Structure 1
Amino acid sequence: MRQRIREEQASVALYWDFENLHASLAEARQEGAYSKQDNRFKVQEPLIDVQAVVELAASFGPTAINRAYCNWQYFSRYRDALLQCAVELIQLFPPGGSAKNGADIKLCLDAMEDLGRFGHIGTVIIVGGDSDFMPVSQKVKAAGRTLVGIGARKNTNRHWAKSCHEFCYYESLVESPAATSALAAEADPAAELFKRATRLLAQTQGDAWVSQSAVWHMIKRLDSTFDPQEHGHANFLAMRKAFEAWVEAKDGASGTLVRLR
């Protein structure tokens, strides 16, 4: 389905036009739910599954930048989700009566500056659906980096979506099995984490068979504190073997490959 364009070690820069996505989801639920000024200038109820987006980003490589732009005074109820996912918050106050915070402009400027400073960035992910991002898409591609876009289906500009190497509609992302930020508790959290990592890699690489070592690296991206011993397994290999009822393994050209049954 998807193909990774950059090498495995290249890192990911994730930029959120946070208010753009939130507003799109609110309007998709009910027209005028956000666009009316009396609705915009009040504390917002959370609508975005932050972890689902962060997990998708992790499937492209280790995340080096995770930065969100917004007027955060109205988005305090996202606090726990943003902290849990280690999102860097950039505060933008509207400079005039238009109430436009200029997040897209600041985001694009920062993205280009980061590409110039950090050669290890291989994939740029922009969360937002505005056509204003089209110029930066041209610059990102000219720099030889992979560009991935994420936006709400109803409000995403189709020209912007087509200008990306890959575009994921937010609704499809959260409806997929890989979007598991609100998972029901299971008997073995290690098993759920293994499944999440394997599914994300399979979707990103377009092949159900994925490298066993890549699964381990993906698990650590999803939860840097994870330790198999805390879940009763001597090491990662022992953990994988304990899951043989639903994990297949075979030898590959460069090591062991696994897939979910």
Structure 2
Amino acid sequence: MSIVPHESRVAVLLDCDNVNPEIVDHALLMAAQFGRVVVRRGYGNHSTLTKRWQETLVRQAFTPCLQYQYAAGKNTADIALALDALEAMFDERADTFCLVTSDSDFAYLCRKLRERGATVCIVGEAKTPEALRNACDQFFEWQPAESNAPCDESPAPAPKDSHGKVEAPKPLPKRRPRFLVDAVSLLADGTTDGEVVLGTLGHYLKRTDPSFSPNAYGHSGLLNMIRTYDLLTASQAPGGHWLVKLAPQIESADV
């Protein structure tokens, strides 16, 4: 009987009144490296959640937590987020928390969660004050202009015959999406040898995109897919498992 290793349970909590909806995709990528995302909630008032946040919360399967403002200037959504985070920790539904906010008011919540043994990361914008950055275990800054566009993932137009009819589908071309390089860079960062186990990489890719499959990019498996990249290398460890790391960059010689 195989023993399933412990997997951290991650809660991603969005402060929708404070950040841009475009930050969510990046936040989920950062959160997935810590474990399985089991709680997804977005907090905001009626004005916030009925505007541009609605599409994002629906698309990324977040539970909207609507909080009415009982008095002008009172942000009840922040209190609801903090209480739900503590409840999730005490109920042992989550042991890792990803707070998506740039509001320094959450610095105290970060400290209380960490005092109880929880891991806390913050995904915020450049405006995030140091008080909040220093209160968590790890801070990830989101830049609005950043792009996760693939290296060569533009779909080719469907081929047609001389009569203008679409031809029968051919085998998918082998493509090399950029996000695979970014995933290896993220997971290998801080490791001793700059390597990530192939199985760990596969689990991470599935967490970030449950529909991910190498077949969709024209490859028979993840290892074969990695071998097509100039920016990645794979090697087999003595135990038989495969390790992936960024390929060393060749520096141009001084003339």
Q: Which runs of 5+ in 1 are unaligned?
A: 1-6, 23-45
The DSSP-based 3-state class of the residue aligned with 1:195 is helix
Q: Which runs of 5+ in 2 are unaligned?
A: 155-173, 248-255
CA offsets 1:38-93 (integer angstroms, 9 cap, x no match) = xxxxxxxx6x3321111111122221112110125445223333333222211112
Larger radius of gyration: 2
Change (3 A) 1:167 1:228: closer
The DSSP-based 3-state class of the residue aligned with 1:218 is helix
User: How far apart are residue 169 of structure 1 and its match?
Assistant: 2.8
Note if contact 1:14-1:66 (Cα within 8 Å) is conserved in structure 2.
yes
C-alpha distance in 2, partners of 1:184/1:244? 10
C-alpha distance in 2, partners of 1:78/1:206? 40
Confirm whether residue 107 of structure 1 aligns to residue 81 of structure 2.
yes
C-alpha distance in 2, partners of 1:110/1:153? 26
Change (3 A) 1:136 1:253: farther
User: How far apart are residue 8 of structure 1 and its match?
Assistant: 6.9
Which amino acid counterpart does residue 142 of structure 2 have in structure 1? Answer: Y
* RMSD between superposed Cα atoms in Å: 2.8
Confirm whether residue 186 of structure 1 aligns to residue 153 of structure 2.
yes
Quote the residue 1:201 is aligned against. 187
C-alpha distance in 2, partners of 1:260/1:95? 52
User: How far apart are residue 224 of structure 1 and its match?
Assistant: 0.5
Quote the residue 2:123 is aligned against. 150
CA offsets 1:154-174 (integer angstroms, 9 cap, x no match) = 3x3422321212223333xx5
C-alpha distance in 2, partners of 1:190/1:218? 17
C-alpha distance in 2, partners of 1:258/1:159? 36
CA offsets 1:129-162 (integer angstroms, 9 cap, x no match) = 33322332232112211111233333x3422321
Quote the residue 1:53 is aligned against. 27
Confirm whether residue 70 of structure 1 aligns to residue 37 of structure 2.
no
C-alpha distance in 2, partners of 1:88/1:132? 22
User: How far apart are residue 128 of structure 1 and its match?
Assistant: 1.9
User: How far apart are residue 212 of structure 1 and its match?
Assistant: 1.1
Change (3 A) 1:244 1:168: closer
User: How far apart are residue 95 of structure 1 and its match?
Assistant: 1.2
C-alpha distance in 2, partners of 1:92/1:205? 42
Which 10-residue stretch deviates more, 62-71 or 243-252? 243-252
Confirm whether residue 13 of structure 1 aligns to residue 11 of structure 2.
yes
C-alpha distance in 1, partners of 2:200/2:61? 22
Q: Normalising by the residue count of structure 2, what TM-score does the alignment of the two structures yield? A: 0.74
Select the structure that is richer in helix.
Answer: 1
Quote the residue 1:162 is aligned against. 134
Quote the residue 1:249 is aligned against. 234
The DSSP-based 3-state class of the residue aligned with 2:220 is coil
Confirm whether residue 215 of structure 1 aligns to residue 208 of structure 2.
no
Quote the residue 1:235 is aligned against. 221
Change (3 A) 1:89 1:239: same
Which amino acid counterpart does residue 145 of structure 1 have in structure 2? Answer: A
C-alpha distance in 2, partners of 1:62/1:219? 12
> How many residues get paired?
222
Which amino acid counterpart does residue 61 of structure 1 have in structure 2? Answer: G
Q: Normalising by the residue count of structure 1, what TM-score does the alignment of the two structures yield? A: 0.73
C-alpha distance in 2, partners of 1:244/1:184? 10
C-alpha distance in 2, partners of 1:86/1:58? 15
